[in-house]
Amino acid sequence: MDFSSLNPVAMIVLLVGAATPILLAALGELVVEKSGVLNLGVEGMMIIGAVTGFIVATETASPYAGMLGSMVGGALVAMIFGFLTQFLRSNQVATGLALTLFGLGLAALLGGDYNGIKPPPTPRLNIEGLSDLPIVGELLFSYDPVIYFSIFLVAAVWYFLNRTRGGLILRACGENHDAAHSLGYNVVMIRFGAIMFGGACAGLGGAYVSLIRVPQWTEGMTAGIGWIALAIVVFASWKPWRAILGAYLFGGITILQLSLQALGISISAAYLSMTPYIVTIVVLVIMSADRKRASLNAPACLGRSFHASN
Amino acid sequence: MSVLLDIQGLSKSYPGVKANDDISFQIQEGEIHALLGENGAGKSTLVKMIYGLVRPDSGAMILNGEKFAPPKPFFARQKGVSMVFQHFSLFEALTVAENITLGMDVAPSRKELSAQIRKVSNEYGLPLDPDRLIGDLSVGERQRVEIIRCLLQNPRLLIMDEPTSVLTPQEVETLFGTLRKLSANGVAILYISHKLDEIKALCDHATVLRMGKVVDTCIPANETARSMAEMMIGGELEMPKPREFNPGEAVLEIKNLSLDSTDPFGTNLKNVSLSLRKGEIMGIGGVAGNGQDELLASLSGERLVDKEMIVLKGAAIGRLGPNERRKLGLLTGPEERLGHAAAPAMSLADNALLTGSIRMGLANKGFLKHRKIDEFAKHIVKEFDVRTPSIKVMAKALSGGNLQKFVIGREVLQSPEVLVVNQPTWGVDAAAAAAIRRAIQELAESGAAVLVVSQDLDELMEMSDTFAVLAEGAMSKPQIAEGLTIDEIGLMMGGQLEGAQHAEA
Amino acid sequence: MLRLEPRQKASNMMLYFTPLIAVALTMVVGGALFAMLGINPFDAIWIIFFDPFLDSFNLSQLFIKAAPLILIAIGLSLGFRAGVWNIGAEGQFIMGALVGGATGLALWGMEGWWILPFMAIMGAVGGFAWAMIPAILKIRFNANEILVSLMLVYVAQNLLSAMVIGPLRDPDGFNFPESRSFSRNDATELPMIFEPLGLHVGGVVALIALAGAFILLQRHSLGFNIKLTGDSPRAARFAGVNPSIIIAVCLGISGALAGLAGLFELTGPAGKLTTNFPVGYGFTAIIVAFLGRLHPVGILLAGVVLAGTFIGGENAQFMLQLPSAAVRVFQGMLLFFLLAVEILISYRIRFSKGAS
């Protein structure tokens, strides 16, 4: 076997691409969970984003219009979840599952006519002088714009949550919704807004898969990365900077196993394909094992439905 | 002095109850005005209307000569009305400064706010560190956060809902000092309480509510606690008769019980020891969060401890689960009615089965005896006068007092040999509280040993034969309750456990 | 203004009516969706919701589809009542088929009445073992069972691929990635009990499981403890319920039943292991459990209704050129509507004058 074909620079570039959809979705879910809501429908919102992004992009021939469309699509299905859980007080776990099942079906229905088409390409950054630099240029200055946006979003989410009043209010709703209500904050609307934001992020993550990473539309193409994004939020202990770490770790594992498959290693490809999911489980176990710490990090009202008593 | 707030005929109804009925009174600038009434008299509803959390069905308010109808707390705060809640609206995982910011409508920068917090807290003798997490603060310190949050907005009317129910006597004194200083600076205070001594010591005027109506007004300094109590309940006050105390042999012994809390903000138990005898009611005072939950969990069997730490009738039971302890005669009643002592969305019959299964023989090899379960539930409802249309009603549909009667009744009617209860009358109306206390006393008279954990010192002094304090996870030596003065108890609560010089029980 | 007012007692009428309301709403909104796709909504709804129960050929498919749904949903409903969210039934279903199938292949060529029951037991063991992974990780390490059980679905799917490409491939099968056919072999074929409704042995086992669940929930303290844990974990602990046991029991039962369903699918309708061994039952069963209000009788009805939509959906595919995904949209929509109208059980809608 020839391992020399595993070029580390090329692999890091691929890793970032594999990690970005997960990172986007995880950031959105992180904000949702910080507000006290557990939305298990990430997978559904991502696949909806993947298909709406793909449709808009091919119809308008603009990948950017497609990305905008994916965010709208993701936010719209998230709105169903928000309406049910926040206004009709439905069970968040069940509603999140419903969102995933519904999203997978609806995406397949919408995408029926778009199988096997190539979407318009998304240009990569190309700054003269910088992007041409050996190694550094490839590693830092030649990605597509969404990757830079995802890094920016990490910083923006961190800043919003930790440095702004709006972020403080959002966290307050997640910590103690009764107290937030008694201080006069509209818990339901704040959470509803967070849910929409989460939907838009997941949608964009989905579009990244269908427009840039693959790029093609196939049914069920998100293949569980929405669920991995949920696990990343736990891994990150609800901290944006650690979400980036988690997402890149998973990107790395995915790329490594794909490279090994490409090398024609003697292990069946199916076994290698399992690894990201198994690693997710291992990471979840490690992060959850210390109960006291886990309960300190998690928003105290996570998953509990809020009902103003008067 | 001029009128600050004029309340004119406020009414508010909820399905089935008229919470406030044509309430009128006035609050003067800079006065400390007491709102007096039993639980359920309508005090909370009234202040929620003043603070904009609830909108009145009819009536009007005039604040400083202007019409005042706040649709939201924001508008009330804008007009200078602030409120300190009975159950704090604080966020444990956030810092003091963050909590204060959240309660302000226009918040200054972090740095400036920290400086302001330090300034105000020193001015009013309420020391606080802006960067600490709320979860790490004592209950008294948490209340300071609430008060400072209000003070930073320069209120003209400060509403305080039962502020002392969670404080040690020393903390109460500090609070009163702060309130008097505020009053001298022209801030009016609406002080809600049912503690008559406090009102007599602190307040300039009092308005008495009963069943949603204003029934009387008075100047507390000119009244006795007894006369105000009679205004409050609208009848003659029955004084409890002292019980005879002839304890039998020890049935429950706790030996050097230590237990780490599972709550990141909880208190660990440190070497708690006591001995409880037949016919004895031992009161355990202390402010919540000092290890009460941990003590209860270790006695109920929800948390297991070393085998020898708990001995019941000579048997070491520290490692037995709740049902094995029930079998041996040790029953418990937790503080939280809904979601701990009772399952909210399950029927009363199911909730009777919840702890009654073993001693009442409600199941046979795991198969449930529905007729016996229903009979037991009906028996509790009848004996403890639980007001409910049927035993098929969900626990959460009952009022606090009725559910508490059901929960205590469920344990008492299983004839325990040792009963441990935490806050048996918390948030319960006076009639239900009296019934619960009577039932506990009767149980002790019949020979059972009872451990009552409570924050309500008056209640403990009324009921207990012996008394001890739980402070920061450690327990003082139990002493004969009769004759203990409030100062001695205060010293015990402050952590100086051996401070009070008293005959050992 | 509409206002929600809590009820003193859960409305029994609404308890039974809400699933019907949800089905009706799904038909209306789904009909609108069909009209948008250019398909006659009345034809489509007739074919999907009514025809499956009126046509004798369709009826002969009914329990073939309903049996696995019911069997899995029964197990899931126990967990959902306790707040133990096993959403990886799909993986346990696959593992049941895989382990039971491997057992059958190991015994290939042998004859005897005991082979199929033995395979069924091994199928149940396979599903049980797969479900014990999230159970143990939850009990021991507090790891979220939703995510773990779901991750294991993907692992199971990959494991299935690896097996049918590798050790379990049919040696006489021209290198196709599939196993020997269990349904064309006397010792491993699942017997049909009542042809007109498609009731095979698996269907009968599903009905027995229904009865067992009914007794457990209504009459036994274990069922009571499951319900208690779901309503209030703290009260359950106070009542002496060990939460670890509840987690293990709920995941164990649902895993075993899902594994059993997988084995019945393998030896009956599917016939053999392939890389795309019947997918979706494990997820659709979640809808069945909720639509059936987590109640055994409800699950029976819901399983039949959802099985009907499967059959109707397939018919609509070739009769109306309805995309295959449309039925899944329907099923997702059904669950949404069900969750939306559920509020009517514990709240009353009041019209009040003015804002409040």
Rounded to whole angstroms, the Cα distance separating A79 from A95 reads 12
- The SS3 call for residue B35 is strand
Report the pLDDT value the prediction gives residue A130, as an integer from 0 to 100: 78
Q: What is the pLDDT of residue A258?
A: 87
* Number of domains into which chain C is organized: 1
Instruction: Kindly give the parts of chain A with pLDDT less than 70.
Output: 1-6, 308-310
Cβ contact A50:A219 at 8 Å:
no
pLDDT of residue B505: 40
Cβ distance B343 to C356 less than 8 Å, yes or no, reads no
Residue C349 covered by a domain: no
Whether residue C173 lies inside any domain: the answer is yes
Residue C192 belongs to a domain: yes
Mean pLDDT in residue range C66-82: 97
In a domain, C27, yes or no: no
The arithmetic mean of pLDDT across residues B285-308, rounded, is 91
SS3 of residue B33 by DSSP? strand
Question: Taking CA atoms, what residue in C is nearest to A285?
Answer: C143
| Cα–Cα distance measured from residue B323 to residue A116, given in angstroms and rounded to the nearest whole number | 64
Across chain B, what does the average pLDDT equal? Answer: 87
Q: Which of B348-362, C23-37, C293-307 has the lowest mean pLDDT?
A: C23-37
Sequence-separated (6 or more) residues with CB below 8 Å from residue C267 = C100, C104, C116, C119, C182, C183, C188, C189, C190
Given a cut of 70, is residue C82 above it in pLDDT?
A: yes
Assigned domain for C31 exists: no
Whole-number pLDDT of residue A1: 47
Chain B adjacent subunits, 3+ CB pairs under 8 A = A, C
Residues of chain B found within 8 Å of residue A180, distances taken between Cβ atoms: 89, 91, 102
Dist CA B283 CA B479 (whole Å): 10
Question: Quick check: A210 and A53 in contact, CB under 8 A?
Answer: yes
pLDDT tens track for A226-273: 999 999 999 899 999 999 999 999 999 999 888 888 887 777 788 988
The pLDDT-based confidence of B495 (bands split at 50, 70, 90) is: low
Residues of C in contact with B300 (CB under 8 A): 238
- Stretch C345-354: mean pLDDT: 70
Q: Is the CB of B345 less than 8 angstroms away from the CB of C236? A: no
pLDDT of B232 above 70: yes
Check CB contact under 8 Å for B53 and A310: yes
Per CATH, the number for A3-297 is: 1.10.3470
Q: Confirm or reject contact between A281 and chain C (CB < 8 A).
A: yes
Tell me the C-alpha distance between A208 and A145, whole Å: 11
Query: Residue by residue, what is the 3-state secondary structure of chain C?
Result: CEEEEECCCCCHHHHHHHHHHHHHHHHHHHHHHHHHCCCCHHHHHHHHHHHHHCCHHHHHHHHHHHHHHHHHHHHHHHHHHHCCCCCCHHHHHHHHHHHHHHHHHHCCCCCCCCHHHHHHHHHHHHHHHHHHHHHHHHHHHCCCHHHHHHHHHHHHHHHHHHHHHCCCCCCCCCCCCECCCCCCCHHHCCCEEEHHHCEEHHHHHHHHHHHHHHHHHHHEHHHHHHHHHHHCHHHHHHCCCCHHHHHHHHHHHHHHHHHHHHHHHHHHHHCCCECCCCCCHHHHHHHHHHHCCCCHHHHHHHHHHHHHHHHHHHHHHHHHCCCCHHHHHHHHHHHHHHHHHCHHHHEEEEECCCCC
pLDDT number for residue A308: 66
Given a cut of 50, whether residue B503 has pLDDT beyond it is: no
Query: What chain C residue is nearest to A225 in terms of C-alpha separation?
Result: C151
This prediction's pTM: 0.88
User: Which of B340-354, B485-499, C253-267 bottoms out in mean pLDDT, i.e. has the lowest?
Assistant: B485-499
Among A224-228, B229-233, B236-240, C187-191, whose mean pLDDT is lowest? B236-240
Mutate to test the interface with C, among A89, A285, A293 (most CBs of C within 10 A): A285
pLDDT surpasses 60 at B456: yes
Q: How far is CA B477 from CA A144, B19, B273, B467, B500, in A?
A: 71, 44, 8, 8, 10
| pLDDT the model gives residue B109 | 85
Is residue C69 one of the residues assigned to a domain?
Answer: yes
Q: Which of B322, B324, B344 sits opposite C232 (nearest CB)?
A: B344
A277 with C330: Cβ contact below 8 A: no
State the best of C217, C229, C232 to mutate against chain B, taking most chain B CBs within 10 Å: C232
User: How many A/B residue pairs have CB atoms within 8 Å?
Assistant: 55
Distance CA A90, CA C4 (A): 14
| pLDDT at position B499 | 39
Residue C346 lies in a domain: no
> pLDDT > 90: what percent of chain A?
64
C242/A307: higher pLDDT: C242
Question: With a CB-CB cutoff of 8 Å, which residues 21-80 of chain A face chain C?
Answer: 40, 80
- Show me where the domains of chain A are located: 3-297
Are A270 and C162 a contacting pair at CB < 8 A?
yes
CA distance B148 to B138: 15
Q: What is the distance in angstroms between the Cα of B373 and the nearest Cα belonging to chain C?
A: 12
Sign of the alpha-carbon dihedral angle for B440, B445, B446, B450: positive
Q: Compare CB distances from C165 to A91, A103, A270 and report the shortest one's residue.
A: A270
Q: What is the CATH number of the domain that holds C232?
A: 1.10.3470
Q: How far is CA B253 from CA B247, B278, B312, B326, C241, in A?
A: 14, 12, 6, 16, 25
DSSP B347: B
How far is residue B96's CA from residue C42's CA, in Å, rounded to a whole number? 62
Number of other residues whose CB lies within 10 A of the CB of residue B239 = 8
Residues of C with CB under 8 A from a CB of B: 5, 8-10, 219-222, 224, 227-228, 231-232, 234-240, 242, 356
DSSP A245: H
Determine whether the interchain pair A183/B92 forms a contact, defined as Cβ–Cβ distance below 8 Å. no
C9 with B397: Cβ contact below 8 A: yes
For residue C354, name the pLDDT band (cuts at 50, 70, 90). very low
Question: Dihedrals φ, ψ of B282, to 5°?
Answer: -105, 125
pLDDT over 90 at B53, yes or no? no
User: Which domains does chain B show, CATH number per domain?
Assistant: 3-233 (3.40.50.300), 250-493 (3.40.50.300)
Cβ separation B300–C232 shorter than 8 A: no
Residue pLDDT, tens place only, B383-442: 998 988 899 998 988 888 889 999 999 999 999 999 999 999 887 777 788 889 999 999
What integer pLDDT is reported at residue C230 of this predicted model? 94
User: Collapsing DSSP states into helix, strand and coil, what is residue B386?
Assistant: coil
Residue numbers in B near C8 (CB within 8 A): 389, 393-394, 397
Residues of B in contact with A291 (CB under 8 A): 262
Query: Could you tell me which residues come within 8 angstroms of residue C36 by beta carbon, excluding any fewer than 6 positions away?
Result: none
Q: Does residue C99 belong to any structural domain of this protein?
A: yes
pLDDT score, position C325: 83
B-C interface: how many C-beta pairs under 8 angstroms?
75
Axis-axis angle for helices C296-320, C12-36 (nearest 10): 10
Chain B environment of C234 (Cβ under 8 Å): 336, 339-340
Query: In terms of pLDDT, which residue wins out, C132 or C346?
Result: C132
In the prediction, which pLDDT does C355 show?
40
Per-residue pLDDT of B62-120, as tens digits, reads 999 999 999 988 889 889 999 887 667 889 889 999 999 988 877 788 888 988 898 88
ipTM of this complex prediction, to 2 decimal places: 0.89
